Amino acid sequence: MPKLKLFALGAVLVVCVGGCAVNPVTGQRELVLVSASEELAIGRAQYLPAQQMQGGIYATDPELSAYVDRVGQKLAAVSGSDLPYEFVVLNNSLPNAWALPGGKVAINRGLLTALNNEAELAAVLGHEVVHAAARHGAKQIERGLLLQGLLLGAAVGTYDKTYAAGVLVGAQLAAGLIGQKYSRDAEREADFYGTRFMARAGYDPYGAVMLQETFVRLAGEKRSSWTDNFFASHPASQERLANNRELAEQLRAQGFNKGVLGAASYNQAMAKLRESAPAYAAYDEAIALYESEDYDAALSRVNHALASNYEEALFHGLRGAIRVKQGREDDALINFNRAIDRHAEYYVYYISRGLIHRQQGDIARAKVDLSASLDLLPTASAYQALGELAESEGDMSNAKRYYAQAGKGQGPESQAAIASLTRLELPEQPEKYIGARMSLGSDNTYRLLVINRAAVALKNVRVRLDIQTPQGSQSWIQRIEGIAAGQSRSVSVNLPSAADDGVQIRVYPVGAEIAGG
């Protein structure tokens, strides 16, 4: 199982000296702040988490994936770019396709089912090839647009969004990249050169026209699955359709008039997926019922899907998730085992099974499964659970390490992890979470300012005051009932006047507890 190596985004964005390079698609010289090697590193590091957040690889029909890759490689070969292109099919019913910097491309099976021939597929992949080759994603990073809130949103494409919602910061770049909206100029550029690439690769450029005709029709129907997903990042328009039609006619006039549409080859490659269409439709209905908490109806629909296609791991995984909600953990374990047997490279099955093992007291297996999920996608849920397991065994060092990792995300698991880490560290490092200082008011009276640096509210905050005067020394503990996260409290303290000679005052935090803990 491959280890996930997170790319250090900060290293990419700290630019000392900008350079210029020739864009391999447009032939124009342009300023480059993200180097070619950095683009490749981003693509390599973010490809796996991007796939995981979209449902994982479509594994039940490897021949279809190989077919899509062959079409994509034809386009890559005529793109003028030497990027190490990869093309995968994702097990997701939502219509979508995307490209990461460095030539990492994916298309969902939900989009494949809307296409009619190989030329249309080439138009989609050619469009994504241009996004990568023309550095559209890298330019977004250079502009800093992806730093403005990396939210998963529609990027999540699995039956249980709980875990993916806690994807940690290192992998959230993938969500920003696959969900980004390119500029109109970038979309026009991807259409223009992508259509040229498909013509050079031997396809009828009119396939790009047919593709846009389909998109315009679907956009007019306002199907939520398209509007909320594919069209959000690939807007369809009459303008794009007219541009593609004009370009296709120009290319035919230039001699690209013997290209193939490839309807027969596409239908042959899609035969198994189309045969399974009713099963995936039942699965999608089951997801909607699951999310509305109608678990009995969801189970009925997913059982219908399994009756049509028993080898699809997603169906077994969803059945396991339903069984968990119904309190039938033993049955859920069987379902997750079957899912992993059929597709061992999807993180949700491992984290789901690991949480059941933890609940049943099988600590060793829980650790193995939760760690396996982290190899595929780092989530706050898995780190938080591992932290709780380590703490229960008295392994406070690893508990703190896991909680610290979980706390880097967003959502309830991350907040719980931050609270747990604070709880463990407060007795040993009160100064890390509590600040204290004295100030002298205009009336020559002292005030003690106590600052809660923690991300959680604290209660029973205790600060020690050591007072040294010529007459002797004294110490006491000043208590403050509670301080909200990130806030401070100021209290009056009866101390000798600052005008008195030889008075020395020292304050330092000595402890607190988590409010509500």
> How much is the pLDDT for 493?
85
Q: Whose structure tokens read 């939760």? A: 370
Distances (CA, A) of 231 to 50, 194, 216: 19, 18, 10
Sign of CA dihedral 296, 345, 281, 153: positive
pLDDT 10s digits, 403-450? 999 998 878 888 899 999 999 999 999 999 999 998 877 777 788 999
Share above pLDDT 90 across residues of the chain, in percent, rounded to a whole number: 62
Q: Which CATH architecture has domain 430-514?
A: Sandwich (2.60)
pLDDT 10s digits, 342-386? 999 999 999 999 999 999 999 999 999 999 999 999 999 999 999
76, amino acid identity:
A
pLDDT 10s digits, 7-29? 444 434 333 344 677 777 776 77
pTM attached to this predicted model:
0.85
Please say whether the beta carbons of 340 and 349 come within 8 A.
yes
pLDDT above 80: residue 267: yes
Parse the chain into domains and list their residue ranges: 9-273, 274-425, 430-514
Number of H helices, E strands in the chain: 25, 11
Bridge partners of residue 436, in order along the sequence: 450
Confidence of residue 223 (pLDDT cuts 50, 70, 90): low
> How much is the pLDDT for 185?
84
With vertex at residue 266, the alpha carbon angle to CA 264 and CA 271, rounded to the nearest 5 degrees, is 95
pLDDT 10s digits, 89-111? 999 998 889 999 999 999 999 99
Domain 274-425 -> CATH class: mainly alpha
Spatial distance between the Cα atoms of 78 and 198, rounded to a whole number of angstroms: 8
Spatial distance between the Cα atoms of 3 and 9, rounded to a whole number of angstroms: 18
Q: In the chain, what is the straight-line distance between the N-terminal and C-terminal CA atoms, in Å? A: 39
pLDDT above 80: residue 497: no
